[in-house]
């Protein structure tokens, strides 16, 4: 990925973050004084009237190629909808603040932090989660297979987000250099520190065997 496109990508994310906050404010959800409360609304669906403006609306989502009908609050994040209403728990929540990438999904082929994306904003757009990557017969996506072959995951908690980010990268840039991959993946944290394994996996999936690093 060139520097220009990285900048464009980052700018797009910035805008979406700003947009996110604007929409939350507009929705009437009041930021709690206890600032560390998740934005997320677990077990979503507070009782009617308990949160200002918290009226659910039935909407249609396109998730992993399926049409899913779901009741969604104005301030509900995509991560919460996926995890608590659609049963797609492969998308993880770690920071809930657009810092770590554990909740990464693809929307129309571009990576988004689903913890910081309002569900209402993705109506009529194609959402792909980690559960949507396997082939029709259950076979692993080539990127998933490469992550297995390179012993990518350690604790595994960041792995779904890493895999989705890697798939999105290779869709845009099928033959990235290791350095390009390092830049492209930098929105996904891994506390175990398995970055080198993940980069090896991406190089393997891209067929760039010259840049797979092993041994002494």
Q: Which of 62, 154, 173, 177 binds other proteins (CB under 8 A)?
A: 154
Closest CA to 16 of 86, 94, 108, 128: 108
Asked if 25 interacts with other proteins (CB under 8 A), we say no
* Sequential DSSP letters for 134-147: S-TTSPPPHHHHHH
Give the other-Cβ count within 10 Å of 186's Cβ.
13
Residue span 88-127 as binding mask against other proteins, x where in contact by CB under 8 A, dash where not: xxxxxxxxxx-xx-x-------------------------
Q: Is 144 left (phi over 0), alpha (psi -120 to 50) or beta?
A: alpha
- Closest separation in Å from C-beta 22 to other proteins: 20
Q: Which of 1, 6, 59, 192 binds other proteins (CB under 8 A)?
A: 192
Residue span 53-82 as binding mask against other proteins, x where in contact by CB under 8 A, dash where not: -x----------------------------
Asked if 151 interacts with other proteins (CB under 8 A), we say yes
Nearer to other proteins, 37 or 55 (CB): 37
Burial category of 18 from C-beta neighbours within 10 Å (exposed 0-12, middle 13-18, buried 19 and up) = exposed
């Amino acid at each position: 990925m060139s520097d220009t496109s990285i900048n464009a990508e980052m700018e797009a994310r910035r805008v979406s973050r700003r947009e996110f906050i604007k929409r939350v404010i507009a929705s009437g959800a009041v930021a709690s004084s206890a600032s560390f409360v998740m934005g997320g609304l677990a077990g979503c669906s507070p009782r009617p009237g308990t949160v200002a403006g918290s009226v659910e609306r039935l909407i249609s989502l396109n998730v992993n190629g399926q049409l899913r009908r779901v009741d969604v609050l104005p301030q509900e994040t995509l991560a919460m909808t996926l995890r608590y209403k659609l049963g797609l728990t492969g998308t993880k929540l770690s920071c809930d603040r657009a810092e770590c990438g554990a909740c990464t999904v693809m929307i129309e082929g571009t990576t988004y932090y689903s913890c910081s994306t309002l569900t209402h904003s993705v109506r009529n757009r194609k959402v792909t989660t980690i559960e949507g990557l396997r082939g029709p017969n259950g076979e692993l996506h080539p990127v998933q297979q490469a992550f297995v072959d390179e012993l990518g995951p350690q604790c595994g908690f960041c792995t779904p987000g890493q895999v989705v980010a890697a798939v999105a990268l290779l869709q845009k840039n099928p033959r990235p250099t290791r350095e390009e991959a390092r830049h492209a993946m930098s929105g996904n944290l891994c506390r175990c520190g398995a970055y080198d394994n993940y980069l090896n996996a991406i190089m393997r999936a891209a067929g760039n065997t010259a840049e797979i690093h092993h041994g002494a």
